[in-house]
A and B are shown apart, each in its own frame.
Chain A
Amino acid sequence: MRELFSLRDPALAARFRELLRKLQPREPVRIVHVCGTHEITIAQYGLRSLLPETVEVLEGPGCPVCVTSTQDLDCALQLAERGATLCTFGDMTRVPGTRMTLEEARAEGADVRVVLSAADAVEIARRQPERPVVFFAVGFETTAPGTAAVLLDNPPDNFFVLASHKLIPPALAALLSIPPVAIAAFLAPGHVSTVIGAGAYRAIAARFRVPIVVAGFEPLDVLYGIALALRQLREGRAEVENAYPRSVTEAGNLRAQELMRAVFRVGPALWRGIGEIPASGLYLREEFAAHDARREFGVEGRLGEEKPPGCRCAEVLLARAVPTDCPLYGTACTPLTPVGPCMVGAEGACNIWYRYAGRPRL
């Protein structure tokens, strides 16, 4: 803990501020991160107030709950309504599907449970062998290995997975492919990168000529990551740099990658607010068909995203707007009465800005 607190050292922070000032770009630049934990650090420590005026930092599709498509959510709702016990992470139960949220389905009698891990859902399945238990598996490369591990560990026959895991590198590529693109650099998420390795971004950095810096979650980690990105921009480089070497290696966690490969195949996935991104979703391999909720129960969500009128979550997820750009933010839409998914998820930009008053500059 003491070591972590040193990453908040005021004297060191002052030196970073000086460094950032020297690296100030002449033209405005937009740096995008894709991680709720980064956004929490930025908002909680007021880091935006420390950045040069020409530097804007936005959260893109960094909240796994927020990017889960209405289609997948509708599948989960159907399963719950057909009598399965539906297990998922807490925030997921409050995100609206086409007709309702999982929380509302529970109020109408569906068996919806909040779990902290895939293993908890397996435990529930073991305790009630007579009833199908579906784990609605959301999250990026950080939670996917956990889902894979329980499937490889001989789960009971009544345990099923509704796979909705998503991959971060294809999302970065998508943000750079959908015009108009106004992203000068990426901060890559420390947790995901611990699993997939810094090397996973090299092809994107080269193809799109964009600096990508892997950053940790302490305030000075984030400032350091931003400084490295600004230095690349100033020097005209577009490389992958690892600013979080105490956790992230070039190759990542090979064991976790092996688990994911053994259980999942890669396919196209729908991202809320962005649309379909090729090769960005994880689906169960043939060998695990008996635990695949989609196959076993034949559920299918309808295509097409329902968007509440006025809600600008889609632009927030595309890193084209900040929460305060939305007319609903803080008025019709608050964490207590969320309208869009970015206000529901605890890692959503709107939710974080509201809780930490993450206004850009004070």
Chain B
Amino acid sequence: MKRLLEEKVTALHGAGGLVMDKLLRERILPKFPIRAAGPIGLDQMDDGAVLDLPPGRLVFTTDSHVVKPLFFPGGDIGKLAVTGTVNDLVVMGARPVALSLALVIEEGFPLADLERILESAAAVLGELGVALVTGDTKVMGRGELDGLVITTTGVGVAERVVPDSGVRPGDFLLVTGPVGEHGLAILAARNALPVETPVESDVAPLWPALAAALATGGITAMKDPTRGGLAAALNEMAQKSGVGMEIEEERIPVRAEVRGLCELLGISPYELACEGRAVLAVAPEKLAEVLSALRAHPLTQGAQVIGRATEHYPGKVILRTAVGGKRFLEMPLGDPVPRIC
């Protein structure tokens, strides 16, 4: 019995009481270096956290993560769960301050895997100086869920909130680095590709890389191109802002191996998820300042202007292709699946 409890997550772990308490105190809490952002935090194990926030507007976001497989080239669900929420705060223009993390674990889940996952979540938060202030753990029966679900909720503080809807005609459109890598790495990890690939997920927190660019005040709108990739992010921004967008395909950064594989599979790199990139609209007079701020940080040094917002075709994204043809870049229909014939 003792051995079982030490190696696998069991129903007892999720039932409150001593076993749960021991799991939390010994295995989970110590992994997170910063455990408070005010008088009451993780260590008190109270009913909630109490935060002291710096001045500014409070930005608040939540996301559940169900990636399959849990470990993939370049990251795992732990890193993804905290990065996703941190990035949602950052693309709202906020400095991330504190996160909550809730685990729903399938009975029988290996404890060693859980530890690895939490360690990578903790590593991201530690590097950023962001606190984990509260959390929850539940265990469900075998077969009732697929391994592990992590829900993270985050709060941040913004001096100037940056909405999706702020793009104005004339604004430059930027992407902070090459697109398509997370989506492709996940496909590869599912053995869904006919070839081996060195492509790794780009999963990475956008803070502090975007801090200096935000401080210029030149970013009018921003979004992280996660599900649906660049195509979905641009379409959403165009629709919400009521502007058209003209994108030069040649300028969209895509690593050669990603482009080559997408070609082979018949999928579009613009529809594949990114987890460490942002799409920005920038006021023309601030472009140089924003670009140099982005290029000063390793994560965003590959930032590129990919096009401009216009008054034509409001709500639509026009792609000028490599050979000079034009077409609409549509909102993706669903997750891209490799064509088969």
Q: Chain A residues in contact with chain B, CB under 8 A?
A: 1, 4, 8-10, 13-14, 16-17, 40, 43-50, 64, 89-91, 114, 116, 139, 143, 219-220, 223, 334-336, 346-347, 354-359, 362
Contact = CB atoms under 8 A, between A and B. Distances in A.
B323 A116 contact: no
Interface stretch (B157-165, B183-191, B326-334): B326-334
Given A10-B250, A114-B340, A139-B341, A356 B323 contact: no
A50 B340 contact: no
Contacts of A9: 322-323
B322 A13 contact: yes
20 contacts: A4-B263, A8-B322, A10-B322, A17-B324, A44-B321, A45-B325, A45-B327, A49-B326, A89-B341, A114-B340, A116-B340, A219-B322, A220-B323, A223-B323, A336-B333, A336-B334, A346-B339, A346-B340, A357-B327, A362-B318
Interface string B256-269: 10001001001000
A44 B323 CA distance: 11
B319 interface: yes
A17 B326 CA distance: 13
Contact of A50 (B256, B260, B319, B325): B325
A49 B325 contact: yes
B341 A143 contact: yes
Contacts of A355: 330, 333
Given A40-B266, A43-B327, 4 more contacts: A9-B322, A45-B321, A89-B341, A347-B341
A164 to B, nearest CB: 14
B325 A10 contact: no
Given A89-B341, A90-B340, A355-B333, A219 B325 contact: yes
A91 B319 CA distance: 28
Nearest to B340: A90
Nearest to A8: B322
Binding site of A, secondary structure by majority: helix, strand, loop or mixed?
A: helix
Contacts of A358: 327
Contact of A90 (B328, B333, B341): B341
A46 B248 CA distance: 13
B341 A1 contact: no
Given A1-B256, A355-B333, A359-B328, A50 B341 contact: no
Interface of B: 250, 256, 260, 263, 266, 318-330, 333-334, 339-341
A8 B334 CA distance: 27
Nearest to B322: A8
B340 A335 contact: no
Binding site of B, secondary structure by majority: helix, strand, loop or mixed?
A: loop
**Closest CB pairs A-B (n = 7):** A46-B325, A357-B328, A13-B323, A46-B327, A362-B326, A8-B322, A45-B321
Nearest to B250: A10
Given A1-B256, A1-B260, A10-B250, A50 B324 contact: yes
A38 B322 CA distance: 17
B340 A89 contact: yes
Nearest to A356: B327
Nearest to A64: B341
A205 B341 CA distance: 29
B326 A46 contact: yes
A362 B245 CA distance: 13
Nearest to A65: B341
Nearest to B328: A357
B333 A335 contact: yes
A71 B196 CA distance: 41
A195 B340 CA distance: 20
Contacts of B266: 40, 346
Contacts of B260: 1
A244 to B, nearest CB: 17
A346 B334 CA distance: 14
B248 to A, nearest CB: 10
Contacts of A219: 321-323, 325
Contact of A45 (B318, B322, B328, B333): B322
Given A143-B341, A336-B333, A14 B328 contact: no
Contacts of A13: 322-324
Contacts of A139: 341
Contacts of B326: 46, 49, 362
A356 B317 CA distance: 12
B339 to A, nearest CB: 5
A10 B328 CA distance: 19
Contacts of B323: 8-10, 13, 16, 45, 47, 50, 219-220, 223
Given A13-B322, A44-B321, A45-B322, A362 B341 contact: no
Contacts of B341: 64, 89-91, 116, 139, 143, 346-347
Nearest to A92: B341
A236 to B, nearest CB: 29
